[in-house]
Amino acid sequence: MDQKFLAWPGNLPQEVETKGQYYVKMTQERELVHKIREEQEWCVRVDQIHLKGKEDDLARRREQLSMREAAIKRQEQELKIREAALKNKKDAAEPSSGRDRKGKQPRCT
């Protein structure tokens, strides 16, 4: 049988701690775990704040971009209207039948 005896002389702990030492050690470990958890929570909160700031900045940029796009579309429409008006003005200035001002046909040379 391969049984290990826990109380065998080679298995005895070398240093025996008292009840007070045990409680101190457990309290320190608990405080360390608590401190690590608080630090992790703090890091998560900081990351969330940074992420929220980036999201707000991105939303602001999208809004500015949509405003710029709307302004460009409006300018393009105004330009088309001006070009059409200018074309209509030039067409009105030119004679529509093949005759010039004095009523004569243009010469072909």
* pLDDT at position 92: 76
Distance, in Å, from the CA atom of 106 to the CA atom of 94, rounded to the nearest integer, reads 13
Question: Residue 53 CA to chain centroid, in angstroms?
Answer: 9
Distance, in Å, from the CA atom of 65 to the CA atom of 60, rounded to the nearest integer, reads 9
Distance, in Å, from the CA atom of 7 to the CA atom of 13, rounded to the nearest integer, reads 9
The pair of three-digit structure tokens given for residue 41, joined into one six-digit string: 């929570």
Distance, in Å, from the CA atom of 86 to the CA atom of 30, rounded to the nearest integer, reads 83
> Per-domain residue ranges for the chain?
17-91
CA-CA-CA-CA torsion sign (97, 99, 103, 105): negative
Tens-binned pLDDT, residue by residue, of the chain (109 aa)? 456 656 566 665 567 778 999 999 999 999 999 999 999 999 999 999 999 999 999 999 999 999 999 999 999 999 999 999 998 888 777 655 555 556 666 666 6
Question: Do 95 and 101 contact (CB within 8 A), yes or no?
Answer: yes
* pLDDT at position 103: 60
